[in-house]
Homo-oligomer: A and B are copies of this chain.
Amino acid sequence: MTKFYISTMKQRLLATLVIAAFYLLPLMAQEHISSPNGKIQLSVGLKSGRPYYELKYHDRNIFNTSFLGYKLSDGNLDSDFKIISCTRTTKDETWQQVWGEEEFVKNHYNELTIHLQQKKGLKRKLDIVFRIFDDGIGFRYIIPEQKTLNTIIINEEETQFALAHDAEAWSIPSNHTEYFEGIYRKSLISTKDTVCTPLTIEYEPDIYLSIHEAALNDYASLNLTPRGNTLTSALTPWSNGIKVYGNKNLMSPWRTVIVVQKATDLLLSRIMLNLNDPCKIEDTSWIKPGKYIGIWWSIHKKKNTWEMGPNHGATTANVKRYIDFAARHGFSGILAEGWNPGWGNGEKITYQKSYPDFNIEEVNQYARSKGVRFIGHMESWGNSKLIETEMDSVFRWFHSMDMNTVKTGYVGHKFDGKELSKSQYGIRHYRKVIETAARYHIMINNHEPAMPTGIQRTWPNLMTQEGVRGQEYNAWDKKGGNPPEHTATLPYTRGLAGPTDFTPAIFNFSEVIKGTRPHSTLAKQLAEFVIIYSPLQMAADEIENYEGQPALTFIENCPTTWSQMVVPNGKIGQYITIARKERNGDSWFLGSLTDNKARELDVRLDFLDADKKYTAIIYEDGPEADFETNPMAMSIRQIKVDCNSTLHLKLARSGGAAVQLKVASKL
């Protein structure tokens, strides 16, 4: 009797709940999705017709209700929506990089796509795709082809990142004329003006975020404008104010948020790469990471000139000296800026003519005879149309001479006097150059670029890019060059966007102009060679300053493509240690550097193979080293270590350490 009673009660209760759920659904439509490890939880839904998402990490709020959508030129695409359907998928794959900081990249995520349609008017459709990884999220908009939409013209993207509370973050201002060559400053988000991405946030002592984008192929670059704790997308406009021109359909770049517990883990996230398309180049055998030297620093130091004259740098004789040095010390490439007429003086730049004192055929032949490649240079002064007109014949010519690398440059405020380089106009240009170069087996080192977004996965001939405040500021910056903390900040900020042609390894710290020189010790310059990743890494100093320096041995041995990396320690803007394992061998290379504070760091070598003994060749600051008074004081020692050892590193003020760990012979 009692038993029966209880069971019927259960049935009634169940019935009631089902009915309730049925009525509530349309009002509070919400979908949930978590990362594979469950630590990151995303909720997506509509609030009175407006699409939004919310993000939790370890059950703590990261983003409160953050709305999503567009303003198109012929109507809004940000409200009045209903959810038509949702699709979910899961992927767990590992793919191989042609080159990079790691050989194999794990791509494991849960995906949710919500298909939306506006309830009234043109009943336009919008899809939003979310991918949740264990170390962050990515999402993108898809505007599918639909009768009521002939050409897509975006006036604004309205993506929000509504942080649950204010936080310190490192950023450079979204200054459209500086090519991202600013110093990353730490300040409260609420106090910032519009900033570029990556935006790196110290959200809580055990939560670090970095907001950026991936796969920027035919769209405007992302900027973020804070209002209180809420960051809203601010796309880089065309000169007419329009943000993006689409066709009948449109797929936005991915908006990415790295979410990790330690600042050092930011560097290990591969979300950006995973959200780019796989390699589109079939035969990649001609793509060769390497190291290069060049006639460059001497020009920034005003010892040489780009233009022809008594101090012209790029003369046949001088470049041959550099080629000899490159051959002797194992550099694969040699750059010489200013061999082609048209420098500065308003004269139209030319790419296939040489100054009379430079014979490119002779130089190139000499380089080839020594196993070195002469690197082509195409500075456009922002005249991107000129490059697009000439690139086919120039690349064909370079290729016919067996040259395999070109450095492109865009010094000048606007592309073709009109458009911003990081606008959709510029983005389209950059991609055209990369794709054209690929056809001629040319690797690209792009200066004054848009902020990188990982498209080197798709086009691995895009080797490295500037978009950073590099070494040259130490030659002529009236404010005194880059501060000691600069390269202790870059790995956590600009570095997250990909390879950086910072041009490290200055070995002579004489003042260039009063008060200006690299504010660094010699050992720190070596550390930067490991820490600031570039598959084409420049040893930037004049060859005279490398002669006789045992420290050069580290650079000679340090590769530029890797199989693994670890980040044993680091604090944003203060210090960092990175260890990388060479792609084709057993050696590890470790770099450690600090800001203007001297530090002692213990580095556990537990990443070494357990069954091997290693010789550690340690390049470190000498006891008397100091970046201001004695930057050259370096000590190199050699000890035996294994995976149970701990390296005790002493870094001077703005000092560093660089270590090669090679599998040891018996004694």
Contacts and interface: CB of A to CB of B under 8 A. Distances in A.
B617 A550 contact: yes
Contact of A511 (B369, B615, B636, B666): B666
A623 to B, nearest CB: 8
Contact of A557 (B329, B545, B548, B615): B548
A330 B635 CA distance: 24
Interface in A633-649: 633-640
Given A622-B637, A639-B633, A665 B510 contact: yes
A660 interface: yes
Contact of A667 (B624, B632, B637): B632
B548 A508 contact: no
Contact of A638 (B557, B633, B660, B665): B633
A509 B550 CA distance: 21
Contacts of A330: 328
A554 interface: yes
Contacts of A511: 666-667
Chain A: number of interface residues, binned into ranges: 35 or more
A509 B508 CA distance: 35
B624 A634 contact: no
Interface in A478-512: 508-511
A285 interface: no
A549 interface: yes
A368 to B, nearest CB: 12
A638 to B, nearest CB: 5
A638 B617 contact: no
Contacts of A548: 553, 557, 587, 617, 660, 662
A184 B517 CA distance: 55
Contact of A510 (B551, B615, B667): B667
B639 A637 contact: no
B632 A637 contact: no
A619 interface: yes
A616 to B, nearest CB: 11
Contacts of A467: none
Contact of A624 (B551, B636, B639): B639
A186 B604 CA distance: 51
A115 to B, nearest CB: 57
A634 B637 contact: yes
A552 interface: yes
A510 B545 CA distance: 35
A666 B330 CA distance: 28
A602 B517 CA distance: 35
A557 B328 CA distance: 13
Interface string A548-569: 1111111001000000000000
A631 interface: yes
A53 to B, nearest CB: 50
A167 interface: no
Contacts of A549: 553, 617
Interface in A515-553: 517, 522, 545, 547-553
A603 interface: no
A634 to B, nearest CB: 5
A511 B634 CA distance: 32
A554 B636 CA distance: 13
A327 interface: yes
Given A637-B633, A637-B634, A619 B510 contact: no
A622 B638 contact: yes
B632 A615 contact: yes
Interface in A293-349: 327-330
Nearest to A328: B328
A485 to B, nearest CB: 21
A521 B159 CA distance: 65
A116 B638 CA distance: 67
A616 B352 CA distance: 46
A517 B667 CA distance: 11
Contacts of A638: 522, 622, 632-634
Interface in A376-406: none
A576 B540 CA distance: 40
A636 B635 contact: yes
B551 A667 contact: no
Contacts of A667: 508-511, 517, 631-632
A427 to B, nearest CB: 42
A246 to B, nearest CB: 53
Interface string A589-623: 00000000000000000000000000101010010
A327 B372 CA distance: 13
B553 A666 contact: no
Contacts of A547: 557
A590 to B, nearest CB: 14
Nearest to A552: B553
A371 to B, nearest CB: 9
Contacts of A636: 550, 634-637
Nearest to A558: B548
A650 to B, nearest CB: 13
Contact of A665 (B508, B615, B634, B635): B508
Nearest to A633: B638
A550 B634 contact: no
Q: Which of A511, A552, A665 has the most CB of B within 10 A?
A: A665
Contacts of A666: 510-511
Task: Sort A-B residue pairs by CB-CB distance and give the 7 closest, nearest first.
Answer: A550-B550, A636-B636, A550-B553, A510-B666, A635-B637, A548-B557, A509-B667
20 contacts: A327-B328, A328-B329, A369-B369, A510-B666, A510-B667, A511-B667, A545-B665, A548-B557, A548-B587, A548-B617, A548-B660, A549-B617, A550-B619, A550-B636, A552-B553, A615-B632, A622-B638, A633-B637, A634-B638, A635-B635
Given A622-B639, A635-B635, 7 more contacts: A510-B666, A511-B666, A548-B553, A549-B553, A552-B553, A633-B637, A633-B639
